[in-house]
Amino acid sequence: MTSKVYSTLPRQYYISEQIFREETQRIFYERWVCVGRVEQIPNPGDYFAQQIGSESLIIVRTRNNGIRAHYNVCRHRGARLCGNKALGHFREAIQCPYHAWTYGLDGKLIGAPHMNEVPDFKKEDYPLHSAHVHTWEGFIFVSLAHEPQPFDSLLAELSDKFAAWQITKLRSVHRIEYEVQANWKLLVENYSECYHCPLVHPALSKLSPYESGENDFVKGVFLGGYMELTHGSMTLDGAVCVTPLSAVSGEDLNRVYYYMLFPNLLLSLHPDYVMFHTLWPQSPDRTYITCEWLFDPAVMAQPDFDPSPAVEFWDMTNREDWHVCEITQEGVGSRVYTPGPAYVGQEDLIAAFDQEVLKALGHPVLN
Ligand code: FES
Ligand SMILES: [Fe+2]
């Protein structure tokens, strides 16, 4: 008996403006999108802005220590309240730079010069539009859906799988932003297999055999598994760059775990640190990516703390990946391109991810 061989998505999914618009609407405006870390806004008034599709959101820490996401759109004549990539601190409130309408950190309109002269004007009718916010393991997720799927139901099967890494407590030591000339799905697909590793990542392949490991989440919005480490971690020389995280033990000391949380978070857990990427599609053939490295604050406080072996290793590996994604984008755009068969066992997660994309778009599922 032969099982059917999977092929990746048809060419138009990587080049079509129409499908890109559908993805923005059905995926990035509907699903829970990871926008960053709680630690970016530790104090009331701290904020950052993040663009999702063509929407700009202000993620802010409120007076009562909650986190809110407001659309970056003034309720008067629509001006942006801050730049699309702004990061900073609102002293008391959020003031529009146009006519000085002023909003509390919770989004309520609290000041609107002269508007008391306008008949029937009531400030409570004009709060900032808001989006849903959820935090998980120190990550902030935002959903622009009216009624998003409850976040916890998405990860119910996960239970306390990552408890040993205590990701909530970790802190970012470094962030790199990349711009890649490739469709966002090519980047996820590339992250989901190591068939390419021997040729593309000679350094990585010495630290983690490409055929090692196993996938444990193979269907749904959370996908991934582990690979074995032959040395101590994923760093320039393969040694751990700091002592492994205190609760990571047993076989986890010899593994690196790679997961993707649909649609835009890639989470990589090492014995001594956690790395994550977020993906931000800009057009069918262009994606912004952030990459951050999280460490235990206790080891960060040590005088000889040096995360650079981890940062430099992954920065090099990231660039190797972006390059093959870019040459793939170019080739996929050719009129003669049709998807080839996948290598069973190494490319299975790609099939699962592609199905999730099609499901979210309401398109017929392949194969
Ligand atoms: S547009 Fe914001 S106060 Fe007028
Ligand atoms: Fe890679």
Nearest CA to ligand 1 atom 4: 99
In CATH terms, the superfamily for domain 159-361 is Naphthalene 1,2-dioxygenase Alpha Subunit; Chain A, domain 1 (3.90.380.10)
| pTM (2 d.p.) | 0.96
Please name which of 367, 287, 347 lies closest in space to residue 28, comparing C-alpha atoms.
287
Distance 78 CA to ligand 1 centre (A): 6
Could you tell me the CA-to-CA distances from 347 to 151, 188, 214, 303, 328 in Å, in that order?
Answer: 27, 12, 12, 43, 16
Q: Mean pLDDT across the stretch 67-79?
A: 98
Q: 321 alpha carbon to ligand 2 midpoint, in Å?
A: 5
Residue 52 DSSP one-character state:
E
Domain boundaries, the chain: 32-148, 159-361
Contacts of 171 (CB under 8 A, 6+ apart): 39, 294, 295, 296, 297, 300
101 lines ligand 1 (CB under 6 A): yes
Q: Peptide bond preceding 263: is omega within 30 degrees of 0, i.e. cis?
A: yes
pLDDT above 50: residue 2: no
Give which of 289, 263, 287 is closest to 276, Cα–Cα.
289
Ligand 1 pocket member 79 (CB < 6 A): yes
Q: In the chain, where do the E strands start and end? A: 33-37, 46-52, 55-61, 67-71, 87-89, 94-95, 102-103, 109-111, 130-136, 139-143, 171-180, 214-217, 222-228, 255-261, 265-269, 274-283, 286-295
Q: How far apart are CA 307 and CA 316, in angstroms?
A: 14
CATH topology for 32-148? Rieske Iron-sulfur Protein (2.102.10)
The three-state secondary structure class of 207 is helix
Write out pLDDT tens, residues 251-306. Answer: 999 999 999 999 999 999 999 999 999 999 999 999 999 999 999 999 999 999 99
Q: Whose CA is nearest to atom 1 of ligand 1?
A: 77
Mean pLDDT of the chain: 95
In this structure, what are the phi and psi dihedrals at residue 268, rounded to the nearest 5 degrees? -125, 115
- Asked if residue 76 has its Cβ within 6 Å of ligand 1, the reply is yes
